[in-house]
């Protein structure tokens, strides 16, 4: 099977965003040349086709083995098809803006004009692509059903983590005494941060300290709850740049994933879980079909029922009292993610998808 030599990474995207950064880096590690036809995500949607056409005209080559349309760019998949001719187009939907706005974040009514437009554009983008990338099989199944796409071809490429940034400290050892539990994120509803706060309240008299890094949609509500509970073991920390976040992860003893009891939370494994595991941390996150696609409970991480502060507190307590268990689980997590969910294995997976796609189209 011939290997892809060159791809065009296409769309309006932030090159530092972890999803596309890992995919681009992984392809390059796999020996694939990646030319970027990129515009800023701040460019208005109606102006994107002209801006991308201008960016495409400046590329040093127009011959590619595949176009990869970056995450959250369904409106330009058709343009990639037009520019590519017979070249396969892969669309990395990553997550549905329609699903996020209507169901997860509840910022749009289901039949609002914006919600209907988002659904139509995303469905058209997935139908126009030769292959759609999803981060989990659970997500792919959701797209196929929710967007009425029985004939669409989906491939699963997990989000993974950046091993140039996230790694264990050189001297991680079992540390007695107070246990530092870390969380980082943007406080979107699927994170279920309220469950973390309520677990912290249950552990307020134990040697466990919580630091929550970030800001976002539910932060004000969480801050009010934390203030009302007056938790001495909780600190809300402003967002950090990625290098500082990686250093924070190396200081923690335990890391937390997501805990909401929402449909979307059951379909995703977010960056923070892979990042923490790659940092050699024992991770606790909600049990879900998506998490069980990639990880074994008790072997790679700990899974707890969603929206269950008591279960989360019990899991944290168990790790806090057993430093050797923390160390062993963290080592196993690091080995597993290093082997399967960093840029190198993810790039190999994506290169193989491209190879299969180009070979079947000849």
* CB atoms closer than 10 angstroms to residue 109: 12
Q: Name all domains of the chain by residue range, CATH numbers in brackets.
A: 6-160+342-360 (3.40.50.2000), 179-340 (3.40.50.2000)
* Percent of the chain with pLDDT strictly greater than 90: 92
Coil, helix or strand at residue 56: helix
* Percent of the chain with pLDDT strictly greater than 70: 99
Q: How far apart are CA 219 and CA 193, in angstroms?
A: 9
Q: Which residues, including other chains, have CB under 8 Å from residue 10's CB and lie 6 or more apart? A: 37, 38, 52, 67, 68, 69, 70, 73, 76, 80
Lowest-confidence region among 123-132, 149-158, 343-352, 353-362: 353-362
Coil, helix or strand at residue 244: helix
> Do the beta carbons of residue 72 and residue 99 sit within 8 Å?
no
- Mean pLDDT value across residues 253-277: 97
- pLDDT-derived band at 1 (thresholds 50, 70, 90) equals low
Phi, psi (degrees; rounded to nearest 5) at 23: -65, -45
Residues in the chain: 362
For residue range 47-85, list pLDDT tens digits in order. Answer: 999 999 999 999 999 999 999 999 999 999 999 999 999
Mean pLDDT over the full length of the chain: 95
* CB atoms closer than 10 angstroms to residue 73: 25
Lowest-confidence region among 109-113, 179-183, 265-269: 109-113
- pLDDT-derived band at 361 (thresholds 50, 70, 90) equals low
Report the pLDDT value the prediction gives residue 223, as an integer from 0 to 100.
96
C-alpha distances (whole Å) from 108 to each of 81, 112, 140, 156, 268 are 30, 7, 23, 28, 21
């Amino acid at each position: 099977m011939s290997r892809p030599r060159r791809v065009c990474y296409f769309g309006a995207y932030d090159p530092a965003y972890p999803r596309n950064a890992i995919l681009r880096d992984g392809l390059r590690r796999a020996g694939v040349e990646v030319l970027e036809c990129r515009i800023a995500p701040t460019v208005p949607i109606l102006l994107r086709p002209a801006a991308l056409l201008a960016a495409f005209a400046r590329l040093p080559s127009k011959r590619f083995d595949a176009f990869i349309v970056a995450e959250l760019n369904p409106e330009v998949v058709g343009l990639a098809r037009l520019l590519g001719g017979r070249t396969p187009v892969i669309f990395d939907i990553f997550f549905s803006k329609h699903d996020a706005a209507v169901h997860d974040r509840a910022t749009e009514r289901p039949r609002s004009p914006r919600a209907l437009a988002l659904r139509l554009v995303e469905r058209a983008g997935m139908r126009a692509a030769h292959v759609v990338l999803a981060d989990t099989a659970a997500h792919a199944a959701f797209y196929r059903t929710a967007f009425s796409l029985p004939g669409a071809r989906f491939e699963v490429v997990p989000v993974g983590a950046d091993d140039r940034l996230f790694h264990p400290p050189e001297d991680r050892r079992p540390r007695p005494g107070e246990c530092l539990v870390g969380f980082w994120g943007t406080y979107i509803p699927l994170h279920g941060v309220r469950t973390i706060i309520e677990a912290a309240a249950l552990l307020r008299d134990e040697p466990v300290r919580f630091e929550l890094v970030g800001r976002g949609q539910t932060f004000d509500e969480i801050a009010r709850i934390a203030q009302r509970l007056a938790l001495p073991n909780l600190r809300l920390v402003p967002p950090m740049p990625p290098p500082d976040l990686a250093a924070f992860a190396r200081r923690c003893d335990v890391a937390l994933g997501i805990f909401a009891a929402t449909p979307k939370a059951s379909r995703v494994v977010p960056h923070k879980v892979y990042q923490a595991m790659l940092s050699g941390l024992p991770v606790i996150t909600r049990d879900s079909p998506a998490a069980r696609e990639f990880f074994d409970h008790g072997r790679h991480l700990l899974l707890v029922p969603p929206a269950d502060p008591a279960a989360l507190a019990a899991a944290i307590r168990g790790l806090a009292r057993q430093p050797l268990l923390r160390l062993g689980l963290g080592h196993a997590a690091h080995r597993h993610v290093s082997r399967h969910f960093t840029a190198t294995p993810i790039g190999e997976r994506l290169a193989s998808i491209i190879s299969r796609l180009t070979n079947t189209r000849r």
